[in-house]
Amino acid sequence: MNYQQTLNEINTGLDCAKFGGKVANYIPELANIDPNKFGIHLCCIQKGNYSIGDNEEKFSIQSISKVFALAMAYPMLGEKLWKRVGVEPSGNPFNSLVQLEYESGIPRNPLINAGALVICDILISKLKSPKEDFLNYVRGLAGNEDIYFNEKVAESEKNSGYRNVALANLMKSFGNIENLVEDVVDFYFYMCSIEMSCKELAQTFLVFANHGAHFVTGEKILSESQSKRLSAIMLTCGFYDQAGEFTFKVGLPGKSGVGGGIAAIFPEHYSVAIWSPKLNKAGNSVLGMEVLERLTTETKLSIF
């Protein structure tokens, strides 16, 4: 498969002006991003890196970090994890509060904000220096030390993150948050502020395309079963209330973030990351979804 040629053809055939979308501005610091940034990076398990545009420029990975938090917490707690968070799509926006009240403070899944806050709570309880340890975990997965939090983005979200504070408080009232709400949301905001490039994200996601085995060291980060389950959650819940449409159009497990990034995997073959900051109403990158749809259509390769 000549992925570079396919990516070039997709890029040439893309009339970017035709696609709408808006840069996220509810986190003020994210509103400063150039809406026309565009990068793609695809990494094959059997070696081979293919890219387009701003693939080496770092951006705010936002909710894509929820996958890393889940990957870190799952082996720590094992199946007990699922007592505190579910595995069903929410069919609601990522920051919605409504289901939590009906469902007694148990979030639908770990990839919406409420579920990720529970995962953050677990990590805070388990880790000595939560922020530092988490960052080092991501660096380890990426095989790259040059990955950092963006303090400005974390602060900006802290100053505007009323819904996340509300979610954490509501879950605390149901007994599903062990630590102080302020510590949980602080960790969460830092986690979301991590910056990575498409190249770094694609390389990091290779572990999920590789049945949980690290792409350089071969170390088992997740068991086969854990890796299967994590991918299943990405497929069914990675795009909030648009998870069905993403699977329908693209046919790969993946995760989006409001920084405009999407990372996806074709198990046993490749991982791919796209960055284009203009989002649709569900908070997913408009061009990111379009490019991935064209990629699986052109290559005739998806998990289905």
Active site positions, annotated: 63, 66, 188, 240, 258
Rounded to 5 degrees, what angle do the CA atoms 6, 61, 86 make? 100
Rounded to 5 degrees, what angle do the CA atoms 91, 275, 33 make? 100
Contact between residue 171 and residue 107 where contact means Cβ atoms under 8 Å apart:
yes
CB of 66 to ligand GLN, least distance (A): 8
Which residues in the 2-61 window bind ligand GLN by CB under 6 A? none
Which residue among 38, 52, 54, 62 contacts ligand GLN (CB under 6 A)? 62
Nearer to ligand GLN, 3 or 239 (CB): 239
CB of 287 to ligand GLN, least distance (A): 16
Nearer to ligand GLN, 26 or 223 (CB): 26
Nearer to ligand GLN, 45 or 171 (CB): 171
226: contact with ligand GLN by CB under 6 A? no
Nearer to ligand GLN, 44 or 264 (CB): 264
**Binding-site residue total for ligand GLN (CB under 6 A)?**
11
CB of 94 to ligand GLN, least distance (A): 4
CB of 52 to ligand GLN, least distance (A): 23
Phi then psi for residue 78, to 5 deg, are 60, -150
Which residues in the 178-217 window bind ligand GLN by CB under 6 A? 192
164: contact with ligand GLN by CB under 6 A? yes
Contacts of 225 (CB under 8 A, 6+ apart): none
* Letter string b/e over residues 193-223, b meaning 16 or more CB atoms within 10 A of that residue's CB: bbbbbbbbbbbbbbbbbbbbbbbeeeebbbe
Spatial CA neighbour of 254 closest among 230, 290, 287, 276: 230
Which x/- pattern, by CB under 6 A, does the window 247-276 give for ligand GLN? ----------xx------------------
Residue whose Cβ sits closest to ligand GLN: 63
CB of 105 to ligand GLN, least distance (A): 18
CB of 92 to ligand GLN, least distance (A): 12
Spatial CA neighbour of 104 closest among 172, 166, 184, 180: 172
242: contact with ligand GLN by CB under 6 A? no
Which residue among 54, 157, 186, 290 contacts ligand GLN (CB under 6 A)? 157
63: contact with ligand GLN by CB under 6 A? yes
Q: What would the 3-class secondary structure string for 175-238 be?
A: CCCCCCHHHHHHHHHHHHCCEECHHHHHHHHHHHHCCCECCCCCCECCCHHHHHHHHHHHHHHC
Nearer to ligand GLN, 68 or 215 (CB): 68
296: contact with ligand GLN by CB under 6 A? no
* Letter string b/e over residues 120-153, b meaning 16 or more CB atoms within 10 A of that residue's CB: bbbbbeebeebbeebbebbbbbbebeebebbeeb
Tell me which residues touch ligand GLN (CB under 6 A): 62-63, 94-95, 113, 157, 164, 192, 257-258, 283
